[in-house]
A = this chain, B = another copy of it.
Amino acid sequence: MNTVLAIDIGGTYTKIGVVTEEGEILISKVFNTRSKDSFDSFFQELVTEVNLLTSKLDQDCKILGIGVGAPNANSYTGNVENPPNLKWGKRIPLAKSIKDSFELPVFIANDANAAALGELKFGMAQGMRNFVVLTLGTGLGSGIIVNGDLLLGEHALAAEIGHVNVDPNGRQCNCGLQGCLEAYASVTGIKRTVFGLMAKMRVDSSLQGVSFDDLTGETITNAALKGDELALKAFDVTAAILGRKMADTVAHLDPEAFILTGGLSKAGEVLLKPVVASMEKNLFIAYKGKIKVLISEAPRESTILGPAALAFKNLKTLAIQT
């Protein structure tokens, strides 16, 4: 059976697995990325875990290549560049290191770009040719598919929709700019909105008993789903901003759909309804009523499907070229 090894490196956890072309995860493992350690120590553990995992595979299982999704990974250079949440340094030759260790073709992409490929091959975007994935997690990641393929741009840096500007005098962003979308429409963003609303509103809310450090996206989502006024208001504020900026994205790309994923998307209709209303209100007339907004059905554990899709896609291109 033909498979690929998929590696999804996150700021907190790294997931590895062996995946078939049908998207079946034959075997997988999660380990702590230990983001404060050096790249060398991470890489040693990665090699050990991969060897351990693949040693358990059936003999008829052939690994054709390796797909890697990582924050700030550059598909052209194979490097991870300035990852803000990993203490790895400026420029890590991740693709080359993996290739040297396993002697297999290695394909690498920014994590959100890999997620878009995962939705295209295995998820809700099967058969779509133009769509945008927004991962509403700690930050806001994005992946853009145009004409059935990943939009990489001139320097493989396309799709940083988390850093479009909402308000030039707005919130400070981790990236150094002011007013980035990610500072509003992400788990961290809605948390900041909750505390801003506490300053502004008179309301009884279960969230008032939780500290800034302790408040999670899950807590806010659960409160909203139970009808907590403050939490619902926070979703409305977040969705109004996100929907407005999604209308800007449509005015660039004219996609068939947006697919929302990540922690914040677990709120379902509580997020979706006001997002669609705000987007439609702000859409240029030619687009109105034409753009779908969907919530990803991919379970959280399936993030390795993105890197797996990346590997299958590039192996196919290689096969055509040679």
Contact = CB atoms under 8 A, between A and B. Distances in A.
A252 interface: yes
B168 A244 contact: yes
B282 A165 contact: yes
Given A249-B252, A252-B253, A151 B160 contact: no
A161 interface: yes
A164 interface: yes
Interface string A172-205: 0001110010000000000000000000000000
A284 interface: yes
B158 A151 contact: no
Given A248-B164, A252-B158, A252-B249, A284 B153 contact: no
A242 to B, nearest CB: 13
Which secondary structure characterizes the binding site on chain A? loop
A157 interface: yes
Instruction: Say which size band chain A's interface belongs to.
Output: 35 or more
Contact of A153 (B72, B153, B156, B253): B253
A130 B158 CA distance: 11
Given A168-B244, A175-B285, A252-B252, A290 B155 contact: yes
| Copies of this protein chain in the complex | 2
Interface string A139-179: 00000101000011111111111111100100000011100
A252 to B, nearest CB: 5
A129 interface: yes
Contacts of A49: none
A27 interface: no
Given A244-B165, A244-B168, A255 B286 contact: no
A155 B286 CA distance: 10
Contact of A287 (B157, B162, B180, B255): B157
A217 B284 CA distance: 25
Nearest to A74: B286
A162 B163 CA distance: 20
Interface of A: 72, 81-82, 129-130, 144, 146, 151-165, 168, 175-177, 180, 244, 247-249, 251-256, 282, 284-287, 290
